[in-house]
Amino acid sequence: MRRAEPRPEKVAAVAEIREKLERGGTVVLADYRGLTVKDTNEIRRRLRQAGVEFKVVKNTLALRAAKEVGLDGLEAYLKGPTAMAFSGEDLVAPAKLMNDFTREFRNLEIKGGVLEGKVLTVDELKALADLPSREQLLAMLLSGMQGPIRGLVYVLSGVLRNLVYVLDAVRRQKEEAGAS
């Protein structure tokens, strides 16, 4: 018996998921069962604002894409309705946002995920979500770099200030010596 050729839309869907998995970054798998269309659209809108794509996927197609990129261990998380949040830029954003959404939208449940080709459990994703955002890390780095520079400026300004005081004292001494 000859196997039927896969339909073009399924091939395209697998290719799209495979491309997102190959790109690296972070993928969060979630069960969206019980969410209203309004809630799903709200989640999608907020994720899009943060540069994260949210897509409902068929488990069989996602599993096929994962196997094509050599990602093992994802089949355990591809049961029941599945939505994927993808981001190739900010590695923390999808985990952080989806974790926040589970508190706001009680029917949303994180199943697992992928971080740069490594399958993550729910606990690992929550640990990732607790990390500071990229902007916060950059601000912390900049603050750390400014500390020594700021200290140097204060020290140098103190030396200059003391030099001005000494010069002013010498000027006053000479004025008093010349007046007497």
Number of helices and strands (H, E) in the chain?
6, 5
- Strand 26-31 vs strand 118-120: parallel, antiparallel, or unpaired? unpaired
% of the chain residues with pLDDT over 70: 97
Cβ neighbours of residue 14 closer than 8 Å, sequence gap 6 or more: 61, 64, 65, 68
Q: Above 80 in pLDDT, residue 5?
A: no
Mean pLDDT across the chain: 86
Residue-wise pLDDT tens digits, 53-80: 999 999 999 999 989 888 888 888 889 9
Residue-wise pLDDT tens digits, 14-46: 888 888 888 878 889 999 998 899 999 999 999
Nearest by Cα to 15 from 68, 87, 70, 84: 68
The DSSP string of 134-176 is HHHHHHHHHHHHHHHHHHHHHHHHHHHHHHHHHHHHHHHHHHH
Q: How far apart are CA 75 and CA 154, in angstroms?
A: 59
Could you tell me which residue, 28 or 5, shows the higher pLDDT? 28
In this prediction, residue 180 carries a pLDDT of: 64
